[in-house]
Each structure stands twice: as C-alpha cells, then as structure tokens.
Amino acid sequence: MTIASNTATPTLGNLSTGHAPQSTPARTAIGELLRVRVKRPPPPTPIDPLARHQSIENALSMALWHVRHGTGTDAIQAATGRAIRAASMLKQACTEATNGGRA
C-alpha cells in the first residue's frame, strides 16, 4: 500500500509549494510599508496650553485630596504619585517654553 503525497501541503522537501510564503515578510508590500513607517518619526502633536494648565491643576488637586482624605501609607503614596506627575508636566511645559514649543 502506497501513501499518496499531497503536493499542496508544504513539507521539508517541497517548501516552495503550498501556502508557504515565497518571500521574507520584510519584502512583502506590508513589510515595506511598516519599514517606512518605523523609520519616520511621528509628527509632533501640539499641546493646548489650557489643557496642560488643567491637567497640572488636576494632578495637584488630586494630590491634596489624597493628603486630606486618606489615612496610612497608601494615601501618601497616591499623593506622591500625583505630585510627581504634576512636577513632570511642569518640567515639560518649561522645556517647551524654553525651546520654542518643542520638548
């Protein structure tokens, strides 16, 4: 009894037949598109000064809320996290103001 081999199924001997890709993924149309996108940096998004101001105020308000209403180390850690976030946003705003709008 002989077993008929299916030539459409890729095996070790017939990798070029069946559904095996004929080229490496980097050389396909999608691979080329992704290669171009990965190399090109995204365009900078402008940050609205009013939105930044509101975000900084919100982070500081949340830090104070955790200090006033919390008890224990969890509240201190949450307040510290919000205060660090506000300081980070302030630093970014100062850097952008110094560099003419670029961080």
Contact in structure between 65 and 81 (CB atoms under 8 Å): no
- Whether 7 maps to a domain, the answer reads no
- Whether 15 maps to a domain, the answer reads no
If you ran DSSP here, which 8-state letter would residue 5 be given? Answer: P
Amino acid letter, residue 42? P
Tens digit of each residue's pLDDT, the chain (103 residues)? 555 555 555 555 555 555 555 556 556 777 777 776 666 666 667 678 889 999 999 999 999 999 999 888 999 999 999 999 999 999 988 888 887 766 5
Q: Which domain holds residue 81?
A: 49-98
Helix or strand holding residue 94 (H, E):
helix 73-98
pLDDT of residue 62: 95
- Whether 80 maps to a domain, the answer reads yes
Q: Is 89 left (phi over 0), alpha (psi -120 to 50) or beta?
A: alpha
pLDDT of residue 48: 84
How many whole angstroms separate alpha carbon 87 and alpha carbon 101?
A: 18
- Whether 20 maps to a domain, the answer reads no
CA atoms within 13 A on the CB side of 101: 6
- Whether 71 maps to a domain, the answer reads yes
Q: Provide the number of structural domains found in the chain.
A: 1
- Whether 62 maps to a domain, the answer reads yes
- Whether 25 maps to a domain, the answer reads no
pLDDT of residue 36: 65
